[in-house]
């Protein structure tokens, strides 16, 4: 049997919530999810230099959260520059 | 001359002659973009091609916006769960093709990808890691600067994270 050991770490409420939800949905034990996640993350970091990694999670300051909150609450509006930009796509460029 | 076509980077594409003026961007495209995309699945690169030669690229990845912990008693209309976004992490054009609007087309292509992600997986907006010299360009498009306490781009000089709601892109194409 593989020897196991215990670690502990403080994480954000949202990370804990994601872990709880994923465990409930998948039926996987939390220790297994954490171990799998660590293996994936650390292997990726070994194979890529830091400059090649795109961090997936961006943590907003309170003021930045206010910016996002305000923009999402507004009726959607496009600036003239954005309208012009979106019309630069060639017909075969459609994503 | 025909405009370069844009599509997802493929293993046979020739990026060996790509020179955008910043060696770090050249190395990323030549060594890591394909690996990120096809082996680690942590980002996708769309290439502008002149024949088989890559003359521009934009790299995107799914991401999430999370709040720093709010003080006790503070309220926010943002949900407590993370908000899904598309992160435009890198965009570069070969020196021989600069000044012809290709960078703008690549940005527009990435925004169209975000529209697709909104429908297929959920996406409230786009976060671009704007080089300091390009902050004005993205501000004209409606992007607003975000102050981050985590998840900053590792590129140097440090880009500026900027946010645009996906509704603005929808409004631009409707």
- DSSP-derived secondary structure letter, B77: S
CB atoms within 10 A of CB A58: 25
**Close Cβ partners of B54 (under 8 Å, ≥ 6 residues apart):** B9, B13, B14, B15, B18, B29, B47, B48, B94
Tell me if B74 is assigned to some domain.
Answer: no
- Cross-chain Cβ contact B82/A57 below 8 Å: yes
Q: Are B68 and B44 in contact (CB under 8 A)?
A: no
Q: Is the pLDDT of residue B120 over 60?
A: yes
Unique residue bearing structure tokens 């699945």:
B41
Of all residues in chain B, the percent with pLDDT exceeding 90 is: 74
Q: How many beta carbons lie within 10 A of that of residue B150, not counting itself?
A: 13
Tell me which residue of A38, A41, A31 sits closest to A4, measured CA to CA: A31
* pLDDT band for position B124 (cuts 50, 70, 90): very high
Residue reference for tokens 């959260």: A65
Q: B138: domain CATH number?
A: 3.40.630.30
Domain boundaries, chain A: 13-90
Q: What percent of chain B has pLDDT over 70?
A: 93
Residue (of B92, B103, B17) closest to B53 by Cα position = B17
Rounded Cα distance between B94 and B101, Å, is 12
**Residue B75 included in any domain:** no
Test B80 with A48 for CB contact under 8 angstroms.
no
Closest-CA residue of chain A to B163:
A68
pLDDT tens column, B43-86:
899 999 999 999 999 999 999 999 876 555 555 666 667 899 99
Residue B73 belongs to some domain of the structure:
no
Question: Which among A49, A58, A82 is the nearest to B172, CB-wise?
Answer: A82
Which ipTM value was assigned to this complex?
Answer: 0.90
pLDDT tens digits, one per residue of A22-50: 999 999 999 999 999 998 888 777 777 77
For residue B113, what are the domain limits?
5-68+80-173
| 77-136 in chain B: CB under 8 A from chain A | 77-78, 80-83, 85, 87, 89, 101, 104-105, 107-109, 111-113, 115-116, 124-125, 127
Q: What is the pLDDT of residues A48-82, one digit of tens each?
A: 777 778 888 999 998 999 999 999 999 999 999 99
């Amino acid at each position: 049997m593989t020897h196991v050991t215990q670690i502990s770490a403080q994480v954000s409420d949202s990370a804990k919530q994601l872990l709880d939800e994923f465990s409930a949905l998948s039926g996987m034990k939390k220790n297994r999810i954490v171990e799998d996640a660590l293996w994936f993350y650390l292997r990726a970091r070994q194979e890529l230099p830091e400059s090649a990694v795109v961090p997936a999670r961006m943590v907003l300051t309170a003021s930045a959260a206010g910016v996002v909150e305000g923009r999402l609450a507004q009726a959607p509006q496009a600036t003239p520059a954005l309208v012009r930009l979106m019309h630069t796509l060639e017909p075969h460029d459609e994503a | 001359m025909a405009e370069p076509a844009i599509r997802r980077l493929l293993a046979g594409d020739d990026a060996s002659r790509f020179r955008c003026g910043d060696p770090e961007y050249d190395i990323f495209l030549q060594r890591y973009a394909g690996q990120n995309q096809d082996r680690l699945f942590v980002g996708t690169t769309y290439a502008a091609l002149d024949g088989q030669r890559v003359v521009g690229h934009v790299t995107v990845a799914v991401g999430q916006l999370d709040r720093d912990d709010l003080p006790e008693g503070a309220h926010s209309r943002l949900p407590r769960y993370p908000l899904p976004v598309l992160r435009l992490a890198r965009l570069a054009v070969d020196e021989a093709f600069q000044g012809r609007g290709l960078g703008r087309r690549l940005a527009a292509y990435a925004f169209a990808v975000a529209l697709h992600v909104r429908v297929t997986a959920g996406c409230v907006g786009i976060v671009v890691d704007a080089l300091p010299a390009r902050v004005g360009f993205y501000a004209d498009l409606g992007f607003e600067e975000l102050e981050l306490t985590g998840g900053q781009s590792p590129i140097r000089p440090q880009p500026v994270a900027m946010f645009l709601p996906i509704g603005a892109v929808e409004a631009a194409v409707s």
